Structure 1
């Protein structure tokens, strides 16, 4: 039986829960030390996942930046960079984005109706897998486990974080809380409206609370709700 990966949701948010504001420029919520912490977590996982919307908006390379950490991965028999994964139901991907042209292997999960479109757009830039008529997170995790992914880091966006939390598929949540207030109703929040396991009274276990400069890191175990 395939073992699903250990799933870590990672996000930086304002005190009022926003991932970004509505300006064209990306709102920088973390500080240099917290960016380095994120790099350390990236180096520790087997795959990093973002949604196609996040890819289009932020155009990230999604790499392990530290040469020392990459060298340690190689010494352990791993690829220098974790597998990069994205999901798309629409199939609207741009082959020119940085995601496809930096790092090692890439993998796309899509649905049957978008499979041909994704394959034609990306050509040989990534492996493409359909989960059927709908995007099935259980099948996504099963396939990642089959490919040897033991630890998966999910870096957004809000829709993906919400779906994984609502389906009780996240093992850890890493929240970097920045001392900022956004307050814009159209800005993206870390989590949206959903029927979360246990309802509004189920408290997650706190694993860690740590100050990193003016940012506070909170680590929670979502499946351990009391």
Structure 2
């Protein structure tokens, strides 16, 4: 069996732990310098994953924006863009979303009950892969590894980050902390309640701290093999 990808979780949050506010418009937590850092991370990844809730809420394109970085990928024998991956248990992913009309290869992982409807909805736009009756992250990683994905960048949202961390499937966390306070109970948080491995007493290993514009980047190893 092919090895699973190295899984990097990437998120920006406010000082009080929110990914966004509760308004219809997206709250920009980072500035140009941090957006460029994220673009560099994307360019170094084989695939980028976001959850279906994030696609519906934020309608992202998830591209490598730098032409120079895309050209470097091509020179290295890679595709111009990383594979774009999403998860959907409900199958509610309209074909009008930006995700389906930009970049290169696109894959949707879902359960067997929703796969037929999703395949019809996204015909010609994405490959729909059914992962059994229940959408399991371990099976998703196995399938991505078999496709040659060695580095997977996970960009959220909250439920996806929570699940990767709770199941012990992430290798590294890069968290950009913005100098903002949101304080809105209905706004999405970085992670939700879960039984995380090791419980509250388990400490992650800090790999790096640095300022990027006006945010602070915190890099943590989540497994002993992280680097």
Question: What TM-score do you get using the length of structure 2 for normalisation?
Answer: 0.98
| Number of residue equivalences | 225
Paired with 2:57 and 2:186, the residues of 1 have a C-alpha distance of: 15
Specify the alignment match of 2:64 in structure 1. 64
Paired with 1:99 and 1:35, the residues of 2 have a C-alpha distance of: 18
User: What is the CA-CA distance between 1:214 and the residue it aligns to?
Assistant: 1.1
Paired with 1:96 and 1:212, the residues of 2 have a C-alpha distance of: 34
Specify the alignment match of 1:188 in structure 2. 188
Specify the alignment match of 1:217 in structure 2. 217
Stretches of structure 1 lacking an aligned partner (at least 5 in a row): none
CA RMSD of aligned residues (A): 1.0
- Residue by residue over 1:74-105, the C-alpha shift from the partner in whole angstroms, topping out at 9 and shown as x without a partner, is 00000000000000000001101110111110
User: What is the CA-CA distance between 1:223 and the residue it aligns to?
Assistant: 2.2
User: What is the CA-CA distance between 1:2 and the residue it aligns to?
Assistant: 1.3
Specify the alignment match of 1:199 in structure 2. 199
Tell me, yes or no, if the aligned pair for 1:43 and 1:64 is still in contact at 8 Å: yes
Paired with 2:200 and 2:134, the residues of 1 have a C-alpha distance of: 28
Q: Any idea what SS the aligned residue of 1:25 has?
A: coil
Moved more, 120-129 or 73-82: 120-129
How do residues 119-134 of structure 1 correspond to structure 2 at under 5 angstroms?
Answer: 119-134=119-134
Paired with 1:143 and 1:34, the residues of 2 have a C-alpha distance of: 31
Paired with 1:185 and 1:192, the residues of 2 have a C-alpha distance of: 12
Tell me, yes or no, if the aligned pair for 1:204 and 1:224 is still in contact at 8 Å: no
Paired with 1:153 and 1:42, the residues of 2 have a C-alpha distance of: 7
Stretches of structure 2 lacking an aligned partner (at least 5 in a row): none
Tell me, yes or no, if the aligned pair for 1:131 and 1:140 is still in contact at 8 Å: yes
- Residue by residue over 1:37-86, the C-alpha shift from the partner in whole angstroms, topping out at 9 and shown as x without a partner, is 00000000000000111001111110000000000000000000000000
User: What is the CA-CA distance between 1:224 and the residue it aligns to?
Assistant: 4.0
Question: What TM-score do you get using the length of structure 1 for normalisation?
Answer: 0.98
Specify the alignment match of 1:139 in structure 2. 139
- Residue by residue over 1:99-125, the C-alpha shift from the partner in whole angstroms, topping out at 9 and shown as x without a partner, is 011111000000011011101100121
Q: Any idea what SS the aligned residue of 1:223 has?
A: coil
